[in-house]
Amino acid sequence: MLIKFTKMHGLGNDFMVVDMISQHAHLRTEQIKKLSDRNFGIGFDQLLLVEPPGRPDVDFRYRIFNADGSEVEQCGNGARCFARYVIDNKLTTKNRIRVETCNGIIELEVTPDGRVLVDMGAPILIPAEIPFVADSPLAEYELSVASKATETQEKVIISAISMGNPHCVLLTDDIKTAPVETLGPLLESHERFPNKVNVGFMEIIHRRFVHLRVYERGVGETMACGTGACAAVVAGQLRGLLDSSVEVKLPGGNLQIEWLGEGHPVMMKGPATKVFEGQVRV
């Protein structure tokens, strides 16, 4: 069958968005993998599905699948694209919507300047709920990582946070030379993260501005990661290194992140861009 889709991106983190309200299809894991292929398919970091709400107090259900076909709990850049998609395609007349994800409810608002403000909810810091294996919540944890190249154990200091999906954040002195490609996959599948983890490498320029690269679970390094930016700012604040409002520079562009501290939601603001529309046979 043919399905209609829209290709979108948030700071270069790119998505295939499919309306599952006006059309119906079931995409299997192998189909998602083929569609994500940048040479033989549409090409994307994640597939976003727009579905009818499953409860009366929300407007839509939002589902996210990685390029490898695995379903994930949350995607901040995808959330901004989701908001622009449902408004631009007149699936709602609201500028502020409540969206159900598999890990809770988020609120999205398209602002007058065209950017999208996302209430990402409060960060989860309790290890068992991230999930992360640790006895108690701490601002920093030490992990041992086995290096295949040298057959030695390397010690790294990380922060562990969930923004609806698990993140670990570590500091780097130089974002350009950060070991994203080597250390990223080792931490992604570390035994202390039972559901795997997204790995953020953060260079702090000053208390209100950081550089960030993210190795995303099931995808690899992406141009931008909204939940990763949120987690990085939370990690920096927990360590006493960042202020409450921080601009995060990612390879694809900048996001504004604000967190007023424990118990408060993380607010993320940034762009969402439509690339093209099309149809594909599945």
Tell me what the pLDDT averaged over the chain comes to.
95
Instruction: Give yes or no for a contact between 96 and 107, defined as CB atoms under 8 angstroms apart.
Output: yes
Topology of domain 2-118+271-281, per CATH?
A: Diaminopimelate Epimerase; Chain A, domain 1 (3.10.310)
Do 2-118+271-281 and 127-264 share a fold?
Answer: yes
Among 81, 168, 225, 230, which one carries the catalytic annotation? 225
Domain ranges in the chain?
2-118+271-281, 127-264
Give residue-wise pLDDT tens across range 17-30.
999 999 988 999 99
Respond yes or no: is residue 75 known to be catalytic.
yes
Task: Give pLDDT, residue 278.
Answer: 97
Task: Give pLDDT, residue 150.
Answer: 56
> What pTM value is reported for the model?
0.88
Q: How far apart are CA 14 and CA 46, in angstroms?
A: 7
Q: Which CATH class is domain 127-264?
A: alpha beta
Q: 28 to each of 25, 32, 98, how far by Cα in Å?
A: 10, 6, 27
Respond yes or no: is residue 225 known to be catalytic.
yes
Among 75, 81, 168, 230, which one carries the catalytic annotation? 75
Angle at 175 between CA 171 and CA 181, to 5 degrees: 90
Give residue-wise pLDDT tens across range 152-167.
788 999 999 999 999 9
| Residue ranges at the known binding site for substrate | 13, 46, 66, 76-77, 165, 198, 216-217, 226-227
Mean pLDDT of 167-179: 97
Give residue-wise pLDDT tens across range 52-103.
998 999 999 999 999 999 999 889 999 999 999 999 999 999 999 999 998 8
Helix axes 76-88, 226-238, angle to 10 degrees: 140
